[in-house]
Each structure stands twice: as structure tokens, then as C-alpha cells.
């Protein structure tokens, strides 16, 4: 019987060492070629967190006035506005996380719908924050650059 020689399959060659350096260089190259979205991210983050605070304050406000009939009436009239506001806030958060302009454009549409659905002129207070957030998200979306946009330029 012949003895089979033991073969070592784990070789440490200069090619293996070169690959790790090459992978590191590729990561640096990706970071250098990634679009700079710092300003857009600031606008979108401020809009997102302001929307969360506004929604929380609106819920607390409604909870305080929900006891009487005026609170119920206020909820009935502002429900479409708040629902579109909630949808816009969720889409802004998803657009920020996934870096997708489609979600951000859709959130702008829902913020505009939120402004229009708070339709009573006496309730201008309920339009101020959605207008501000619409402006912030629009600026952040316009400044936001995706990877495929940078390749086209």
C-alpha cells in the first residue's frame, strides 16, 4: 500500500496578502466616489425628527382635548391631514435609510397633501409645520445625490 502524502491546502502567498490590500483600496475608492450627501442628510434628518416631535405633540394635544366634543370635532377635521403627515414622515425615514429619491419625492407629495387637507383658514397653526417640513424635505431631496446620478455627470 502506498501512503498518500498530506497536502496543505492553506497557502499564504503574496497574492493572498495582496488581495486584502486591494480590498482595502477598493473600500477607499468607494468612499471617495460616493456622493457627498452631508448637507442633504442634515436637512432630511431635521425634517424627520421635527415631524416626529410635531406628531407627538399633536397626539398629546388631541389627548387633552379628546374629552370634550370640540376635541372629537378637531380630530374629525384634521384626521386626513394627520394621516398624510404620518405617511410622509414614514416615507422620509425610509428614503433617508435606503437613500432613495423616489421615497423622498413621494413624501413631498404627502406633505403637500397634508397642507391642503388642513383646509380651514382659521387653523393656520396646523399648516405651519407641514409647510416647513415640505420645504426642508424638498431642499434635502434636491441636494441629495445617488450613486447613479454621479456616474451620469
Sign, CA dihedral 119-124-48-35, equals positive
Q: Which residue has the higher pLDDT, 34 or 98?
A: 98
Whether residue 2 has pLDDT greater than 80: no
Residue with cell 490590500: 21
Question: Looking at beta carbons, which pairs linking 75-79 to residues 24 or more positions away fall under 8 Å?
Answer: 77/120, 77/123, 78/118, 78/123, 78/126
The mean per-residue pLDDT over the stretch 95-123 comes to 85
Cβ atoms 105, 142 nearer than 8 A:
no
- pLDDT class for 112, splitting at 50, 70, 90? very high
The mean per-residue pLDDT over the stretch 31-46 comes to 74
Residues 6+ apart with CB under 8 A from 39: 143
The mean per-residue pLDDT over the stretch 41-45 comes to 87
Q: Which residue has the higher pLDDT, 44 or 119?
A: 44
Amino acid at each position: 500500500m502506498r501512503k498518500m502524502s498530506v497536502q496543505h491546502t492553506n497557502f499564504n502567498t503574496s497574492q493572498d496578502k495582496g488581495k486584502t490590500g486591494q480590498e482595502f483600496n477598493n473600500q477607499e475608492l468607494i468612499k471617495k466616489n460616493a456622493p457627498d450627501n452631508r448637507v442633504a442628510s442634515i436637512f432630511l434628518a431635521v425634517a424627520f425628527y421635527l415631524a416626529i416631535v410635531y406628531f407627538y405633540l399633536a397626539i398629546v394635544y388631541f389627548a387633552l382635548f379628546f374629552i370634550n366634543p370640540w376635541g372629537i370635532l378637531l380630530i374629525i377635521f384634521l384626521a386626513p391631514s394627520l394621516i398624510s403627515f404620518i405617511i410622509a414622515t414614514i416615507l422620509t425615514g425610509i428614503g433617508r435609510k435606503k437613500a432613495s429619491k423616489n421615497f423622498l419625492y413621494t413624501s413631498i407629495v404627502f406633505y403637500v397633501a397634508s397642507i391642503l387637507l388642513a383646509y380651514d383658514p382659521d387653523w393656520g397653526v396646523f399648516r405651519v409645520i407641514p409647510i416647513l417640513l415640505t420645504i426642508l424635505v424638498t431642499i434635502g431631496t434636491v441636494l441629495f445625490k445617488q450613486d447613479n446620478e454621479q456616474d451620469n455627470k
